[in-house]
Structure 1
Amino acid sequence: MSATHVLLDGFDRVRQAVAGVLEDLSTDQLSHRVGGSANSIAWLVWHLTRVQDDHVADLAGTDQVWVTDDWAGRFGLPLPIEDTGYGHDSEQVAAVVASAGLLLGYHQAVHERTRSYLRELKDAELPEVIDESWDPPVTRAVRLVSVLEDDLQHVGQAAFARGLLPGS
């Protein structure tokens, strides 16, 4: 099994976990913030998908699905189009309100773009340095593993938040 196949499997697992977290939840449930201030399930899924979209598009040299397929317009969030959620304050987290269908649709579109990119990627391209502003410099492999790790943490947080929903 190649390294790209392992990455494909990892991102497939994220997709499955996202679908499971979103299943049968209302927009109100998705927007619920544990303790009144924690990140909502909607925000967590939106954010992990935005980061994946942003980073994979950068690696592939393409535009983000958020823009090209007008997911930004569909969501209609009061945020800049380039916003991925990084560093959001409580008010910005609360602004991310979306249905399960919208969140899942966007995630699926980004997942398909990620799969297309990874299917074309050669293992020999993984050690290529893509960002020298870090010490050590970041390779294509490190960036992909970083996105995968971030996705898994956030979908795990979303699953935990789901378990804490009133009436669960």
Structure 2
Amino acid sequence: MNSAGILADAFERIHETVHAAVEGLAPAELNARLDPDANSITWLVWHLTRVQDDHVADAAGTEQVWFAQDWAARYELPLTKESTGYGHDSSQVASVQVSSADLLLGYFDAVHEQTLEFVRGLDGRALDRVVDASWSPPVTLGVRLVSVIADDLQHAGQAAFVRGALERR
């Protein structure tokens, strides 16, 4: 397997985990918080999707799906359209809610498809390209994609945990 195949496989695993955490849940379950300051499944999946969308679009030189397909208007969040969830306080986390699992998974799946299209076209040399020179050492495409994968898997696992806790209530 080449590097593009490994990256695509990692993003497919995120896809499976997100769908397992979300499918079949009602909006009340998706938006539920285990305690007043906890992250909901909605926030976790929205956030991991926004970060993936932001970072991969930047690296690929494409427009974010959030804007290109007008998901920002569909979500109608009381946040700036550029918000990715990074640094959100409890009230901002609470403001990220959905009316259906279809909305949450629709945006996630659209970002997933754009991500796969990008990573499947990469070769090993492309992964050494610097995508953010403001860090020391500069961030390469390979490092950026591994960072997105790691962050996404953590948040997808947290969403699965929240689902399990809600099912035991």
TM bin, normalised by shorter chain, reads over 0.9
**Structure 1 residues without counterparts, runs of 5 or longer:** none
Question: Which amino acid counterpart does residue 65 of structure 1 have in structure 2?
Answer: V
User: Aligned equivalents of 2:121 and 2:66: distance in 1?
Assistant: 21
**Structure 2 residues without counterparts, runs of 5 or longer:** none
Residues 1-168 of structure 1 correspond to what in structure 2 (within 5 A)?
1-98=1-98, 99-165=100-166, 167=168
Calculate the aligned-residue CA RMSD, in Å.
1.0
Question: Which amino acid counterpart does residue 50 of structure 1 have in structure 2?
Answer: R
Question: Which amino acid counterpart does residue 48 of structure 1 have in structure 2?
Answer: L
CA deviations on 1:93-144 (whole Å, 9 max, x unpaired) are 0001012110101000000000111122222110111212112211100000
User: Aligned equivalents of 2:138 and 2:23: distance in 1?
Assistant: 39
Question: Which amino acid counterpart does residue 25 of structure 2 have in structure 1?
Answer: L
Deviation at 1:166, TM superposition (A): 5.4
* Identity percentage of aligned residues: 58
Q: Tell whether the 8 Å contact from 2:4 to 2:121 is kept in structure 1 after alignment.
A: no
Question: Which amino acid counterpart does residue 4 of structure 2 have in structure 1?
Answer: T
Question: Which amino acid counterpart does residue 133 of structure 2 have in structure 1?
Answer: E
3-state SS of the aligned residue for 2:120?
A: helix
CA deviations on 1:48-67 (whole Å, 9 max, x unpaired) are 00000000100110110000
CA deviations on 1:16-64 (whole Å, 9 max, x unpaired) are 1111100111111011111221000000000000000000100110110
User: Aligned equivalents of 1:3 and 1:153: distance in 2?
Assistant: 22
User: Aligned equivalents of 2:162 and 2:96: distance in 1?
Assistant: 16
User: Aligned equivalents of 1:125 and 1:76: distance in 2?
Assistant: 36
Deviation at 1:167, TM superposition (A): 4.5
- When normalised by structure 2's length, the TM-score is 0.96
User: Aligned equivalents of 1:73 and 1:129: distance in 2?
Assistant: 33
